[in-house]
Amino acid sequence: MTNQEDRASHAPTGAAARRGVFTVGERVQLTDPKGRMHTLTLTPGKQFHTHRGHLLHDDLLGRPDGTTITNTAGVEYLVLRPLLSDYVLSMPRGAAVVYPKDAGQIITMADVFPGARVVEAGVGSGALSMSLLRAVGDQGMVHSFERREEFADIALANVRAFFGADHPAWTITVGDLVESLPHEVEAATIDRVVLDMLAPWECLEAVGDALAPGGVLICYVATATQLSKVAEELRAHGGYTEPQAWESMVRGWHLEGLAVRPEHRMHGHTGFLITSRRLAPGVRPPLRKRRPAKGAYGEQEDSTGEATQPSSASADPEWIPENVGERPVSDKKLRKLRRSIGEPPKM
C-alpha cells in the first residue's frame, strides 16, 4: 500500500506545467497533416523518426503548447500536450482501459465531486483512477484495490507519468477487495464505490458496510449476463435502491465542406454501467409496483402446469475472463510492460 502521508507534500505538477512551455520529461502529442497522432516523452538529444523524416526533441523544448514544428522532410506537425482522453488510449497497458466515454459517464452519473471519498476496484492500467483523481481533487480520496501486483505497478507508473508526481489523494492496495476493505476504511465513511471487475456482486456486502447512507455504487461490466446478475443481487441484498442500467455509444462526424456526415466507424459497445444507492441501516426498499414479465426469471411449466425454477447448475456459471469474452493478458506481455516502465514506484 502506498503511504499517503509521505506523499502529501508532493502535489502533482501537471497543472502548473500545462501553463508553461514544454520541458524535459513531458509527454507531447504530434499530429501530422493526415491526422495521425504520435506521443513522445521529451528527452534531450533524442530524435523522433518516421518514414518521412525526423525532428529533434531539443527543438520542441521551450516551445509553448499549441505550436507547430516542421521535420527534415518538410512535414509539419501540430504539437500539443495530450488530454487525459488522449493519454489513456496511448499509455502502456496490461489490462483493457475504461474508455473516456465511459469514464465521463461514471464521473457524472455517480456524482463524483471535489473532496469525495471514493473506493475503486480493480485498477487495471489506471485509466479510470486518473479520471477519479481529477474529479475528487487533492483534498479528496481515491482508495484503489487491485488483485494483481503487475497491474498495480503499471497503473502506478501511468498515473505518476500523467500527473508528474504521485497524487496526494491516491492510495492503492494490492489484494482482494472483500478481504482488504474492512481493514483499510471505516464503516459508513465512503461516498462513492466504483467496481470494474468480473463479479461485482460478490462485493456487495463489503461495499454496503463501507458506503455511507445515500452513497452511490456504480459497476462497469462487459456482458448482459453480468449486468443481469448484478441487478438481481442488488435487489436480493435489500440494502440498495432499485438499480438503473445503461450503455453509451459515440459516433463521430466527418466535417469537410458540404460533406458533413457520420463517420464510417464508431465506438460501439464497450461496457454496461449499473448504479444504485445505499439505504440507511435497517431500511428496506419500497416494494416494486410493476411485476416482472412472465418467464423473466426463467420459470418453466412442468407437465402439471406448475412453474418451476431453472437448475442452479445453469444459473451460476463460472465467472472467469474467458467465459465473458475477455482476452486474457499473458504473463510474458506483463513482464515486458513492467520492464518498459522501469523500477516500479514503492508501494
> What ranges do the domains of the chain cover?
21-80, 87-251+265-288+321-340
Global pTM reads: 0.79
Q: Residue 288 has what pLDDT?
A: 76
Average of per-residue pLDDT values in the chain:
86
Rounded CA gap, 52 and 72, in Å? 8
Tally of CB atoms within 10 A around 107:
20
Mean pLDDT (whole number) for 77-94: 90
DSSP-assigned beta bridge partners for residue 48: 55
The per-residue pLDDT for 328 is 74
Q: Which residues of 205-216 are buried (b: 16+ CB within 10 A; e: fewer)?
A: ebbbbbbeeebb
Q: What is the CATH number of domain 87-251+265-288+321-340?
A: 3.40.50.150
Per DSSP, the chain holds a count of helices (H) and strands (E) of 11, 17
- The answer to whether 21-80 and 87-251+265-288+321-340 have equal CATH topology is no
In the predicted model, is pLDDT for residue 228 greater than 50?
yes
Cα–Cα distance measured from residue 134 to residue 142, given in angstroms and rounded to the nearest whole number: 10
Which overall architecture, per CATH, does domain 21-80 show? Roll (3.10)
Q: Which pLDDT score is estimated for 313?
A: 38
Q: What is the pLDDT of residue 260?
A: 96
pLDDT (0 to 100) of residue 233? 97
